[in-house]
Structure 1
Amino acid sequence: MANTFMGRREKARSMATTNPFLSLGVLFSTLLILSLLFCSENASAYEGGVRGETMESDPHQQHSHVIKISDLLPAPVCSTSTSTSTHEGNNNAQTMLKVVHKHGPCSKHSSKQKAKLPTPTQILLEDQSRVEMIQSRFANQVHGSKATTPTHSGRSLGTGNYIVTVGIGSPKRDFSLIFDTGSDLTWIQCEPCVAHCYKQQEPIFNPSKSSSYSNITCNAKECSSLKSATGNSPGCTSSTCVYGIQYGDQSYSVGYFGRETLTLTSSDVFNKFMFGCGQRNDGLFGYTAGLLGLGRNKISLISQTYQKYGGLFSYCLPSTSSSTGYLAFGYQGKISSNVKFTPLLVNTADPSFYFLDLIAISVGGKKLPISASVFATSGTIIDSGTVITRLPPTAYSTLRSSFRKLMSSYPMVSPISILDTCYNFTGYKTVKIPKIALYFRGGIPMDIDSSGVFFVRNIAQVCLAFAGNSDAGDIAILGNKQQQRLDVIYDVAKKRIGFGLGGCS
């Protein structure tokens, strides 16, 4: 039986006009100050086959991690990872970019932003804004009642943790970009900044000094495709297509929609890559130059490079902000047997996201008594930009109860924001924590690395890195904390996604 759920999509609508005589300045003002209109759409359905069967305990599983307290905090210096187990034999990926944490010592921005690093509470508040933005796009009906949703504009929050460096323009210049599977449009800041550009590490890109830059015209079909990628209708000025995107925390980028040469490596160069050349930008982007969109829309990087990479990309997120991971496109050779695949689903309410069929959770080697229908009601996406995994309220309360029982020998302390299961590890050299695994269609396990279990404020306040949604119909989100050190492989062509242990340090 096909896996379905009933829902209502509340899609952001911009008041930006497509009038070709509208000035860019008016469009800027319109995009920033006008509220959104929302529209309802019909019930949506997932692609996919039969849900997985009821899971039993794994007798072969080692049920706990023993971790050093010193490993809970990042080192003050960068430690580069060389482990890449996605493919049999290291470094077999066609194109591999180094991934670093935006706020860690491996980032070239770290020296500038030391005084402005967000507090753990701020990180969680920003994360909640992103989650609310995503969930507002899936205002599901549960038992006949509608979920309450915020009225944010634009797409999901563009303030992810992880960044890569790519080349843009001719001659090529390198820019550090946040990569985000929850966004489609790639954009960077561009000169001249009409009103405002935030501070970034590299010099702002000047399209007039690139021999390969060109604007996309208002009447081009590519211009009209912006609406599905940004949630806002495109504008037009002097026959040039103008985009506007505003995120859940009111961060935004507005500018020209153009084409440019994108260089990932010396042998991976893409001419006429469609991207946003931001003339007015502000928000929580750190010192990065913009955002790299890895969603499923036809203007995303994945779609635009499909002919070369076949819709296949993978990443490994580092275990701490002081270590590195990778983002890879395509592959050579055979994928490691360590990686297990589950179907990658599509929800017609918002096909840009990557959907999974979560069916069960285990704690300490035992499957929790949670009906698979609990996860089917909400649906689940995997997202590189959300930090903390969000679960249906019933699933989270069951997880929390089991985890607390197995951690009863450690003193609990007060919560941090949305995290309500926190411990004081002061005085301990090591701690023993139960392993957690998520199970997807076909019984495919995703064993969470020890680094993905806790969110650490300090040793005296270490919290379980999961949270419950407020409504059973709110979309569940697999966050990046739980993806740390895993090989995560997106195979769009074959409609599958894979997980493997020990991808990076």
Structure 2
Amino acid sequence: MATTFILMERISKISRTRLPPNPSKQDFHGFSKSPVLVTRLIHYHSIYSPFYNPNHTVKDRAEIDLIGSISHVSSFIRYPKFRVSPSTRRGFFAYVRVGRKKLEQLLFMDTGSSLLWFNCLPCRLDIPEPIFDPKVSSTYKAEDCNLSDYCGGIDSTFGVSCDRRNRCAYSIHYGNNEYSMGHLATETLVIGSTSKQLFGKHEEVVEHVVVGCAKTTSIYTNGILGLGNTPSSLLKQRSYSKFSYCLGYYDDRSYPYHTLIIGDQAKQLPNGTPMIVQGKYYINLVSIRIGNSLLDIDPMIFKRNPDTYSGGMIVDSGSSYSVLPQVEYAKFEAGIKNVIGSSLIRSYANMVQNHTKLCYFGDMYINLAKFPTVQFQFENDALLKVDERSLFTQVTDGEFCLAFLPSETMFNGYNYSVLGIRMQQGHYISYDLGKMMFSFQQMDCHEVDGYVHDEL
């Protein structure tokens, strides 16, 4: 606990300036709506992360990413094959300060859920410090069952009930034995990356946000920042129609520019594809091209059918690995093997469940330096172009593997397609909930600094 607290203090020292909130805009509740919310994102493996372990080897980090990916995708499934308890979220985390005393919390960024929640005292489990104490915050107010719309069940993504003190209790079950339980409340949040190196002096105070105050959870984290599109999300509460994030290559553990932007000024990119929102964010994959070779995939497998709730590729911020349906995965793997040919020696030692991962001996940055660009074409001719850094992951000092998994083998026969965060690296990613468009653009995230200043 002491080590975690010291590391959190180390992070806190990076950001300690503020600007007052801009009250010029009003949301549909009548509250002040900040024009744009910007905060740094920290990856689980980053040297700035409270989870950072300098003794972890390449193999350790690779296993953490693999287990975390399988666990997170399994959380989409009610009765998953793969279970981890207690679990730790292993993607990107956002800085959010909470309450009157602005207690800094590092919340897991999750596009697959909506409620923003954090741990509260008294808490029944071993969880990361610091833990928020509602009793010392004058801006904390528990939601009253008789007065709260949220306690009336307007958001079907979690359960609500009234306790003996007439407070609104919530219960979220994520599917993979993961849960968060506590009370709903309104609280003041301070959101901002105030490091001068990143965004100069900029932070925003957001008042009267309905949040979850967790008293028990199975997830080893400060909490979760849900970016889903249901009534409980920060996006909906403040009528934001856009959010975006920029992810650098997180194998560089000292990279400081990963960024989350929430606001209607979020840049609209030209390379966009229609998005379907049904609990999660879905896009339609049309084709895959490895160099000059077009794979013979069936685009109907990747097309979302909103009537049957089937198909489509989930855009996921919590899984490092991407997932393809079994048949299409086999074609993709065959295409990769065809390009590599006999130039590298294959390793068969890396297995997960009944799946032998596609792995080779060597250093992917050296041995795959001339690997051709792979293009994932989505509906509306939106091309996501990626290189070896997004396709593969180094699993030991002398081996690397394809960072994709076949869905049916891994997930109880379920047919899933998932665009993981490794595939989103090196891009500015934009979600437009008004136009229902998902767009992306290759970018070094330090360039976002100038964009934010232009918009403020």
TM-score band, normalised by shorter chain: 0.7 to 0.9
Select which of 217, 221, 226 maps to 2:144: 217
Task: State the Cα distance separating 1:462 from its structure 2 match.
Answer: 0.4
Q: How far apart, in 2, do the equivalents of 1:186 and 1:405 lie?
A: 45
Q: Describe the SS at the equivalent of 2:408.
A: coil
Task: Please say if residues 274 and 437 of structure 2, whose CA atoms lie closer than 8 Å, have aligned partners that are also in contact.
Answer: yes
Who is 2:195 aligned against?
none
Deviates more, 1:460-469 or 1:420-429: 420-429
Q: Are residues 442 and 158 of structure 1, via their aligned partners in 2, closer, same or farther at CA, if it must alter by over 3 Å?
A: farther
Task: State the Cα distance separating 1:274 from its structure 2 match.
Answer: 0.8
Task: State the Cα distance separating 1:448 from its structure 2 match.
Answer: 1.9
Who is 1:297 aligned against?
230
CA deviation vs aligned residue, 1:18-44 (integer Å, no higher than 9, x gap):
xxxxxxxxxxxxxxxxxxxxxxxxxxx
Amino acid corresponding to residue 407 of structure 1 in structure 2: I
Deviates more, 1:406-415 or 1:324-333: 324-333
Q: How far apart, in 1, do the equivalents of 2:431 and 2:137 lie?
A: 33
Please tell me whether residue 412 in structure 1 is matched to residue 346 in structure 2.
yes
1:224-303 matches, within 5 Å, as 224-225=152-153, 228-230=156-158, 232-265=159-192, 268-285=204-221, 289-303=222-236
Q: Are residues 283 and 267 of structure 1, via their aligned partners in 2, closer, same or farther at CA, if it must alter by over 3 Å?
A: closer
Who is 2:374 aligned against?
436
Task: State the Cα distance separating 1:345 from its structure 2 match.
Answer: 1.3
Q: How far apart, in 2, do the equivalents of 1:426 and 1:451 lie?
A: 11
Please tell me whether residue 421 in structure 1 is matched to residue 421 in structure 2.
no
Q: Considering only aligned residues, what root-mean-square deviation do their CA atoms show, in Å?
A: 2.9
Please tell me whether residue 365 in structure 1 is matched to residue 292 in structure 2.
yes
CA deviation vs aligned residue, 1:231-264 (integer Å, no higher than 9, x gap):
x343523100111223344343221111101121
Task: Please say if residues 419 and 467 of structure 1, whose CA atoms lie closer than 8 Å, have aligned partners that are also in contact.
Answer: no
Q: How far apart, in 2, do the equivalents of 1:163 and 1:427 lie?
A: 27
Select which of 330, 342, 345 maps to 2:276: 345
Q: Are residues 368 and 328 of structure 1, via their aligned partners in 2, closer, same or farther at CA, if it must alter by over 3 Å?
A: same
Please tell me whether residue 161 in structure 1 is matched to residue 91 in structure 2.
yes
Q: Are residues 500 and 372 of structure 1, via their aligned partners in 2, closer, same or farther at CA, if it must alter by over 3 Å?
A: same
Task: Please say if residues 154 and 231 of structure 2, whose CA atoms lie closer than 8 Å, have aligned partners that are also in contact.
Answer: no
Corresponding residue pairs, total:
382
Q: How far apart, in 2, do the equivalents of 1:118 and 1:209 lie?
A: 39
Q: Are residues 379 and 264 of structure 1, via their aligned partners in 2, closer, same or farther at CA, if it must alter by over 3 Å?
A: same
CA deviation vs aligned residue, 1:118-176 (integer Å, no higher than 9, x gap):
5533432332232233144xxxxxxxxxxxx53999xxx87241111112112322211
**Unmatched tracts of structure 1, length 5 or more:** 1-79, 81-92, 137-148
Select which of 120, 126, 130 maps to 2:68: 126
User: Which fold has the larger relative contact order, with Cα–Cα distance below 8 Å and residues 6 or more apart in sequence?
Assistant: 1
Task: Please say if residues 363 and 434 of structure 1, whose CA atoms lie closer than 8 Å, have aligned partners that are also in contact.
Answer: yes
Task: State the Cα distance separating 1:390 from its structure 2 match.
Answer: 0.8
Q: Describe the SS at the equivalent of 2:156.
A: helix
Task: State the Cα distance separating 1:375 from its structure 2 match.
Answer: 1.8
Please tell me whether residue 402 in structure 1 is matched to residue 335 in structure 2.
yes
Who is 1:492 aligned against?
433
CA deviation vs aligned residue, 1:53-93 (integer Å, no higher than 9, x gap):
xxxxxxxxxxxxxxxxxxxxxxxxxxx9xxxxxxxxxxxx9
Task: Please say if residues 182 and 383 of structure 1, whose CA atoms lie closer than 8 Å, have aligned partners that are also in contact.
Answer: yes
Amino acid corresponding to residue 228 of structure 1 in structure 2: S
Q: Are residues 173 and 284 of structure 1, via their aligned partners in 2, closer, same or farther at CA, if it must alter by over 3 Å?
A: closer
**Unmatched tracts of structure 2, length 5 or more:** 1-13, 15-34, 193-201, 304-309, 447-456
Q: Are residues 122 and 496 of structure 1, via their aligned partners in 2, closer, same or farther at CA, if it must alter by over 3 Å?
A: same
Please tell me whether residue 456 in structure 1 is matched to residue 397 in structure 2.
no
TM-score normalised according to structure 2 size:
0.76
Please tell me whether residue 185 in structure 1 is matched to residue 123 in structure 2.
no
Q: Are residues 226 and 385 of structure 1, via their aligned partners in 2, closer, same or farther at CA, if it must alter by over 3 Å?
A: farther
Q: Are residues 424 and 251 of structure 1, via their aligned partners in 2, closer, same or farther at CA, if it must alter by over 3 Å?
A: same
Q: How far apart, in 2, do the equivalents of 1:270 and 1:239 lie?
A: 26
Q: Are residues 227 and 502 of structure 1, via their aligned partners in 2, closer, same or farther at CA, if it must alter by over 3 Å?
A: closer
Q: How far apart, in 2, do the equivalents of 1:208 and 1:439 lie?
A: 52
Task: Please say if residues 357 and 441 of structure 1, whose CA atoms lie closer than 8 Å, have aligned partners that are also in contact.
Answer: yes
Q: Describe the SS at the equivalent of 1:344.
A: strand
Select which of 100, 116, 138 maps to 2:42: 100
Q: How far apart, in 2, do the equivalents of 1:419 and 1:485 lie?
A: 28
CA deviation vs aligned residue, 1:179-232 (integer Å, no higher than 9, x gap):
110111111111122x224133xx2111111111100122332113376122x3
Q: Are residues 429 and 372 of structure 1, via their aligned partners in 2, closer, same or farther at CA, if it must alter by over 3 Å?
A: closer
Who is 2:27 aligned against?
none
What is the identity percentage for the equivalent residue pairs of Structure 1 and Structure 2? 27
Task: State the Cα distance separating 1:374 from its structure 2 match.
Answer: 2.5
Q: How far apart, in 1, do the equivalents of 2:324 and 2:331 lie?
A: 10
TM-score normalised according to structure 1 size:
0.69
Q: How far apart, in 2, do the equivalents of 1:127 and 1:372 lie?
A: 24
